[in-house]
């Protein structure tokens, strides 16, 4: 386990299918957006346990996982700014 | 490795009951399709140790295997167990597994019972016993549904051990959403694994036709069915959600609905949930949405949560028409929602009534506290944020669960409390301390109860476990477990006497406290006084049904009679202790009782039997890991061997006692007993006050890595509070004030 996990890391999680905003509460403070037939969740995740908890939420609904990546802080800030 | 030593603080306590609904295979419903070819693949050949059905939620794993069970049950017994969070505790898991196996194979029940898990270590004793008994039972299958709920940990490890050792007549079938950590690559390589995965369970066009038009009579066109299969990628739950949403629509509208579903980019569950709900009237919608917080449902529980009446009839009607609500068994009217559907309902609940959720949990807590299960009551109290109520329950029942060997169950509850609640409630810290001590982890127990009682605490007793105050609980814990583990007779006697002042005669803990004072005096060599305390312990123990301290006290009275040369008393007391041991099936004290019996046999000239029984007693006491008691037993054994003229053996046994006594802070009269062998404790190996305990060394090593204290706590099954307490003690002993300095200092000292 890397040291970053204990301080919190920004993740981008991509799920298959578009989910409405009603589902956002399942994913804590992550930003939920719909992009071309997928759902993109972005935000800070405290540690590995929390990350797995978020993935479990998708799994509980049978929602497919497309990708999970840790993103550099600068990229995450860009995402925030691009929002209208 | 120290083993557990039971202690029963409550007189009326029995084994926590098993929840019968977990042991019932779900009924196979008429609406489901048989999938005979898939089911046939589950009939594995010999040598395939594990059958794994692994795919995401909603692929029909349970339905498939339940149908296979129904068709195969005539050929061989198939036991069923649905796992939940509580099964992360191996003692809980295996008590259910044994119960499930005994239900389908009653002859197994004559050889082994679920209660064994409360009395013996799982991997070392329970599983080898079970495997041996299964050899004689012929073909049998065991289905573990929802295996993903175990996650990695001791329960999963115990299943991996079972797979490696189980006879080839046993078929283990595991249903899971995630790949379980069970050394699958090795099983695969040896051809011992049969796997069914998502692609095997997807609905084909013909499955969908049979299901939608055959069983559900939706009368859809081939094109519409193909469109549904393509849109859902053959995901059975998606197809079923679509069917529910179409069921109430007029025949003429169905094709248009399929068309707009196919054209939408919304996720299947998002698109369909609203449509499925709208197919029900408002009271039914309200019922299923609000009761989605429940793991299991029954009419009265739903009435309480909904604050209405008549839920039972609605559940009954719903379970006939909706595959997502399953009846758990015919007799008790319990149901559960399909997990995936429940999760969708919770999304809807959050959307419609987010503020109502804590109130719903609170009502569920209140119902379970009065009519249901303690575990579910605690779960709902936590979910309602009613931590005070949850703490009250945990503080009441922890000893019962601890005595049943369910340590992890208690530790997992404690971990779920917010830090500030845990820190400010000494009852919870004491519960952690007691459970850790009983499970053979005295160093952790000592750290857990490093409580400053001079600070003002809320509402100091009487406590729900029967102690009159926090201090009484703490002193008793110290006197029975912590001081003896340090090998410190002086402080043991001091805390035991304090406990005796605090715990009055006629209360449940009095017997244990008298027992502890008796020990202290006995190890001081003050036998007459000790005997009076042991005698009171026996009387109090019988009155309060506290058999463990009462029976152990009888054994000590027998030792005292022996030392004082009253041979017939020695014999009578040892026999009484032996009878009580058998009558109450006591595990924690059998070592000391065997020792007493062996010595009394030897004293009456039984030169073969006596030493053999003494040897057994010594081995049992060795397992408990308390130095004073082991050294005491060894010295008795050495005496006996010397009396029998086996001087060489006597010296060897006394030598072992010497090295144990050398590690004791204050060994009391054992030092003098040792001198009678011409030995004295070596000074060098005595542990000094400033030295780190083994446990602190473990924590120190973890502090050298990147884990947070919270992660360390999770890894070690401790509360954050207890790990923090270990850390403070490490800093103090190393004379540092930060984690980085502790690691640097430890490297300098060669500890890391």
Whether B269 and chain A come into contact, CB under 8 Å, resolves to: yes
Confidence at residue B236, expressed as pLDDT on a 0 to 100 scale: 92
**Residue B723's CB: how many other CB atoms inside 10 A?**
25
Confidence at residue B45, expressed as pLDDT on a 0 to 100 scale: 77
pLDDT of A39 strictly over 60: yes
Confidence at residue B11, expressed as pLDDT on a 0 to 100 scale: 34
Q: Which residues contact B674 (CB under 8 A, 6 or more apart)?
A: B635, B654, B657, B658, B661, B680, B681
Summarize chain A as % helix, strand, coil (round to 5): 40, 35, 25
User: For the CA atoms of B460, B461, B463, B469, what is the dihedral angle to 10 degrees?
Assistant: 90
In the predicted model, what is the mean pLDDT of chain A? Answer: 81
Q: Which residue has the tokens 């809320």?
A: B458
Identity of the residue in B340, B351, B354 whose CB atom sits nearest the CB atom of A60: B340
Chain B residue closest to A2 (CA)?
B706
Main-chain dihedrals φ then ψ at residue B491, nearest 5 degrees: -75, -30
Contact A60, B339 (CB under 8 A): yes
Kindly list the residues from chain B whose CB atom is less than 8 angstroms away from the CB atom of residue A23: 270, 347
How many residues are present in chain B?
752
Confidence at residue B263, expressed as pLDDT on a 0 to 100 scale: 87
Main-chain dihedrals φ then ψ at residue B253, nearest 5 degrees: -85, -15
**Residue A7's CB: how many other CB atoms inside 10 A?**
11
C-alpha B92 chain-centroid distance: 5
What stretches in chain B show pLDDT beneath 50? Answer: 1-16, 684-686
Question: Does the model's ipTM exceed the 0.85 cut?
Answer: no
| Euclidean distance between CA atoms B335 and B301, whole angstroms | 11
Domains along chain A with CATH numbers: 4-82 (3.30.70.980)
To probe the interface with A, which of B270, B339, B342, B708 has the most A CB atoms within 10 Å?
B270
Higher per-residue confidence, B88 vs A4: B88
Cα–Cα nearest to B279, from B311, B321, B316, B307: B321
Q: Which residues contact B561 (CB under 8 A, 6 or more apart)?
A: B567, B569, B570, B573
DSSP state of B104: H
CA distance B229 to chain A (A): 15
Chain A residue closest to B712 (CA)?
A6
The secondary structure element, H or E, covering residue B194 is: strand B193-197
Q: DSSP letters of B650-716?
A: HHHHHHHHHHHHHT-SB-TTHHHHHHTTT----STTPPPTTSPPHHHHHHHHHHTSS--HHHHHHHH
Chain B residue closest to A3 (CA)?
B706
Whether B703 and chain A come into contact, CB under 8 Å, resolves to: no
CA distance A75 to chain B (A): 25
Confidence at residue B568, expressed as pLDDT on a 0 to 100 scale: 93
| Euclidean distance between CA atoms B502 and B490, whole angstroms | 19
Chain B residue closest to A15 (CA)?
B267
Contact B354, A29 (CB under 8 A): no
| Euclidean distance between CA atoms B572 and B631, whole angstroms | 25
Identity of the residue in B267, B348, B707 whose CB atom sits nearest the CB atom of A18: B267
B340–A61 C-beta distance less than 8 A: yes
Summarize chain B as % helix, strand, coil (round to 5): 65, 5, 30
Q: Which residue has the tokens 């090998």?
A: B487
The pTM (predicted TM-score) of the whole model is 0.79
> pLDDT for A51-69, tens place per residue?
988 998 898 888 999 999 9
Q: Residue B601 corresponds to which tokens in the numbers above?
A: 């046999």
SS (H, E, C) B242-304: HHHHHHCCCHHHHHHHHHHHHHCCECHHHHHHHHHHHCCCHHHHHHHHHHHHCCCECHHHHHH
Q: Residue B701 corresponds to which tokens in the numbers above?
A: 């090593």
Identity of the residue in B178, B270, B707 whose CB atom sits nearest the CB atom of A20: B270
Identity of the residue in A49, A57, A63 whose CB atom sits nearest the CB atom of B267: A63
CA distance A84 to chain B (A): 22
To probe the interface with B, which of A62, A65, A66 has the most B CB atoms within 10 Å?
A62
Higher per-residue confidence, B446 vs A3: B446
Whether B57 and chain A come into contact, CB under 8 Å, resolves to: yes
Kindly list the residues from chain B whose CB atom is less than 8 angstroms away from the CB atom of residue A27: none
B267–A59 C-beta distance less than 8 A: no
Please report, for residues B11, B375, B405, B445, the alpha-carbon distance to residue B411 in angstroms, rounded to integers and kept in the order given.
Answer: 23, 13, 12, 12
| Euclidean distance between CA atoms B688 and B9, whole angstroms | 34
Q: DSSP letters of A2-41?
A: -THHHH-EEEEEEEESB--GGGGGGGTT-EEEEETTEEEE
B266–A61 C-beta distance less than 8 A: no
Q: Which residues contact B36 (CB under 8 A, 6 or more apart)?
A: none
**Residue B252's CB: how many other CB atoms inside 10 A?**
7
Whether B711 and chain A come into contact, CB under 8 Å, resolves to: yes
Task: Report the relative pairing of strands B335-337 and B170-176 from DSSP bridges.
Answer: unpaired
Confidence at residue B588, expressed as pLDDT on a 0 to 100 scale: 62
Kindly list the residues from chain B whose CB atom is less than 8 angstroms away from the CB atom of residue A22: 270, 347-348, 350-351
Identity of the residue in A2, A37, A59 whose CB atom sits nearest the CB atom of B56: A59
| Euclidean distance between CA atoms B88 and B103, whole angstroms | 22
Confidence at residue A2, expressed as pLDDT on a 0 to 100 scale: 42
| Euclidean distance between CA atoms B526 and B302, whole angstroms | 62
Cα–Cα nearest to A28, from A62, A1, A56: A56
Confidence at residue A84, expressed as pLDDT on a 0 to 100 scale: 42
Confidence at residue B607, expressed as pLDDT on a 0 to 100 scale: 84
| Euclidean distance between CA atoms B60 and B66, whole angstroms | 10
Kindly list the residues from chain A whose CB atom is less than 8 angstroms away from the CB atom of residue B343: 57, 60-61
């Amino acid at each position: 386990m890397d040291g970053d996990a204990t301080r919190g890391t920004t993740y981008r999680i991509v799920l298959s299918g578009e989910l409405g905003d009603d589902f956002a509460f399942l994913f804590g403070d992550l930003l939920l957006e719909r992009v071309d037939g997928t759902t993109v969740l972005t935000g800070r995740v405290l540690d590995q346990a929390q990350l797995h908890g978020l993935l479990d939420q998708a799994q509980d609904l049978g929602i497919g996982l497309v990708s999970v990546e840790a993103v550099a802080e600068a990229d995450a800030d860009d995402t925030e700014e691009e929002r209208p | 490795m120290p083993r557990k030593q039971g202690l029963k603080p409550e007189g009326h306590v029995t084994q926590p009951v098993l929840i019968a609904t977990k042991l019932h295979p779900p009924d196979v419903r008429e609406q489901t399709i048989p999938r005979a070819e898939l089911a046939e693949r589950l009939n594995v050949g010999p040598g395939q140790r594990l059958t794994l059905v692994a795919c995401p939620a909603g692929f029909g794993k349970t339905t498939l295997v339940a149908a296979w069970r129904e068709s195969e049950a005539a050929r061989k017994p198939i036991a069923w167990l649905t796992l939940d969070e509580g099964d992360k505790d191996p003692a809980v898991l295996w008590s259910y597994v044994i119960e499930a196996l005994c239900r389908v194979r009653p002859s197994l029940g004559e050889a082994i019972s679920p209660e064994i898990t409360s009395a013996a270590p799982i991997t070392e004793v329970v599983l080898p016993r079970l495997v041996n008994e299964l050899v004689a039972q012929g073909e049998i299958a065991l289905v573990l549904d929802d295996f993903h709920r175990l996650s990695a940990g001791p329960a999963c490890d115990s299943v991996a051990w079972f797979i490696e050792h189980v006879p080839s007549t046993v078929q283990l079938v595991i249903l899971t959403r995630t790949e379980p950590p069970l050394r699958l690559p090795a099983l695969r390589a040896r051809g011992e694994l049969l796997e069914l995965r998502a692609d095997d369970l997807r609905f084909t066009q013909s499955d969908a036709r049979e299901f939608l038009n055959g069983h559900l009579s939706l009368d859809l066109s081939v094109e519409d069915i193909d469109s549904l299969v393509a849109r859902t990628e053959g995901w059975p739950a998606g197809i079923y959600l679509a069917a529910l949403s179409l069921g109430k629509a007029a025949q003429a509208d169905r094709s248009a609905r399929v068309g707009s579903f196919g054209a939408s980019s919304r996720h299947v569950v998002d698109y369909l949930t609203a449509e499925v709900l709208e197919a029900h009237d408002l009271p039914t919608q309200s019922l299923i949405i609000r009761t989605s917080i429940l793991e299991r449902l029954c009419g009265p529980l739903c009435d309480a949560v909904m604050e209405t009446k008549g839920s039972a009839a609605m559940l009954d009607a719903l379970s006939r028409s909706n595959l997502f609500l399953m009846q758990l068994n015919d007799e008790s009217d319990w149901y559960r929602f399909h997990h995936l559907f429940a999760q969708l309902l919770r999304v809807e609940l959050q959307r419609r009534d987010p503020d109502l959720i804590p109130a719903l949990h609170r009502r569920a807590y209140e119902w379970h506290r009065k009519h249901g299960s303690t575990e579910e009551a605690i779960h709902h109290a936590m979910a309602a944020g009613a931590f005070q109520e949850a703490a009250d329950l945990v503080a009441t029942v922890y000893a019962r669960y601890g005595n049943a060997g369910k340590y992890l169950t208690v530790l997992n509850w404690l971990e779920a409390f917010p830090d500030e609640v845990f820190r400010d409630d000494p009852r919870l810290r004491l519960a952690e301390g007691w459970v850790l001590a009983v499970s053979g982890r005295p160093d952790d127990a000592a750290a857990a109860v490093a409580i400053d009682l001079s600070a003002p605490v809320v509402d100091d007793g009487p406590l729900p476990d029967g102690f009159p105050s926090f201090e009484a609980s703490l002193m008793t814990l110290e006197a029975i477990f912590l001081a003896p583990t340090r090998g410190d007779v002086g402080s043991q006697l001091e805390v035991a006497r304090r406990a005796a002042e605090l715990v009055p005669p006629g209360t449940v803990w009095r017997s244990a406290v008298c027992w502890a004072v008796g020990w202290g005096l006995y190890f001081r060599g003050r036998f007459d006084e000790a005997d009076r305390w042991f005698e009171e312990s026996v009387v109090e123990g019988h009155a309060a049904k506290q058999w463990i301290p009462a029976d152990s006290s009888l054994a000590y009275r027998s030792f005292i009679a022996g030392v004082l040369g009253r041979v017939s008393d020695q014999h009578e007391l040892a026999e009484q202790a032996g009878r009580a041991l058998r009558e109450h099936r006591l595990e924690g004290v059998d070592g000391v009782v065997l020792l007493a019996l062996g010595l009394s046999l030897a004293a009456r000239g039984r030169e073969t039997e006596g030493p053999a029984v003494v040897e057994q007693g010594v081995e049992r006491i060795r397992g408990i890991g308390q130095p004073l008691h082991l050294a005491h037993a060894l010295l008795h054994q050495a005496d006996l061997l010397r009396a029998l003229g086996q001087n060489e053996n006597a010296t060897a046994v006394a030598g072992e006692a010497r090295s144990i006594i050398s590690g004791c802070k204050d060994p009391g009269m054992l030092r003098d007993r040792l001198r009678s062998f011409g030995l004295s404790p070596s000074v060098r190996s005595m542990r000094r006050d400033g030295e780190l305990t083994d446990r602190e060394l473990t924590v120190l090593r973890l502090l050298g890595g990147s884990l947070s204290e919270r992660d360390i706590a999770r890894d070690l099954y401790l509360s954050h509070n207890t790990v923090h307490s270990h850390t403070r003690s490490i800093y103090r002993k190393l004379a540092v004030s930060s984690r980085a300095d502790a690691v640097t200092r430890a490297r300098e000292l060669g500890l890391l």
